[in-house]
Amino acid sequence: MTRWRPVAGAAAAFLALYLAPVLLPIDEYTHDIVGLTFVFMAAALAWNWVGGYVGQISFGHSAMFGVGGFVAARAMTALDLPFVLAWLAGGLIAGGYALLWGHPTLRLRGPYFSIATIGVGEATRLIATYWSDFTGGSSGVSLPLAGNPSKFELYWYGLYLLAAAVAVSYWLRVSRIGLGLLAIKEDVEAAGDLGVNPTLYQDVVLFLSGVMVGVCGGFYASYQAFIDPQDMFSFDRSIGLILMAVIGGIGTVLGPIGGAVVFVIIQEYLLANYSDLYLGLYGLLLILIILFEPQGLTGLLRRLLRLRPHRFRRERREAAT
């Protein structure tokens, strides 16, 4: 029975968020920002599949965000694809791109993998900046008004993306694959010696992550109606995903959602008032979290509620008795 409780909770939350803009008097600015936050949540969850579940910290997820965004934008401008299909095309190509660099680099572990991803992110940014036929170079790409949804409508599409990301996060944790990912994270060689194929599972997870982040990039393109490579592929974007996951609780199922909320609030408030200060504050926040509560908001919440650390473990304990 316990396995249906999270599903019911998620369904209730989805319904509430779905109806909120209709029932509550929410101003336009908040409405739009919440819609965009849904997508940052989805992207942070997707980053967490690789960074948290497998323990491979990627500093290069902006690459998939940008690839997804530009492929989606071009699919709409050049091919006249409907926007949902354009996002999906962007996601799939971003997932393929993730495999292209991830398959060889995922055999590296820890800091070595992270350093490789910094290279991937920056190389992708530079290529995109100079490939002006596709990305518009430094002048970027504008999306057509016709066929592109309004920010008001995008709220619900953002919600769908978030729901999909939550579903995959949950599935990746409770399924057989989730157990294999935990084993790989703990000790990749011992996992192999028990029959887990580390290459396959890491590739699958990075692909899924790339697809989701790519679709988020496509959404972002529709949301802004104008994108340029310096923004889409910026290093800050990768760092932002890491921060959301770390603030919320790296490796937890829902933590990155809370992290994204904190991140966006800080960003909106600080960027508006103290634009020079906000990166410094993130740095400080990161240090404090890693020192005092490595599981972020989730760890804090668990400590307050005195819950046991592993829901997986609690379930097994019940099964064992």
Give the list of residues 6+ apart from residue 32 with CB closer than 8 angstroms, or none. Answer: 151, 152, 154, 155
- Minimum gap (Å) between residue 107 Cβ and another protein: 11
One residue of 50, 73, 120, 191 binding another protein per CB under 8 A: 191
- Minimum gap (Å) between residue 306 Cβ and another protein: 18
- Minimum gap (Å) between residue 12 Cβ and another protein: 23
| CB 64, CB 94: distance < 8 Å | yes
Q: Is 5 in the site for another protein (CB under 8 A)?
A: no
Give the range of 31-39, 89-97, 148-156, 186-194 binding another protein by CB under 8 A: 186-194
- Minimum gap (Å) between residue 183 Cβ and another protein: 5
- Minimum gap (Å) between residue 173 Cβ and another protein: 11
Q: Is 25 in the site for another protein (CB under 8 A)?
A: no
Q: Is 225 in the site for another protein (CB under 8 A)?
A: no
Within 262-321, which residues bind another protein (CB under 8 A)?
A: 310, 312-313, 316-317, 319-321
Give CA–CA dist 262/124, Å, rounded.
28
Within 192-221, which residues bind another protein (CB under 8 A)?
A: 192-199
Closer residue to another protein in complex, CB, 303/317: 317
Residues near another protein, by CB under 8 A: 174-176, 179-180, 182-183, 186-187, 189-199, 310, 312-313, 316-317, 319-321
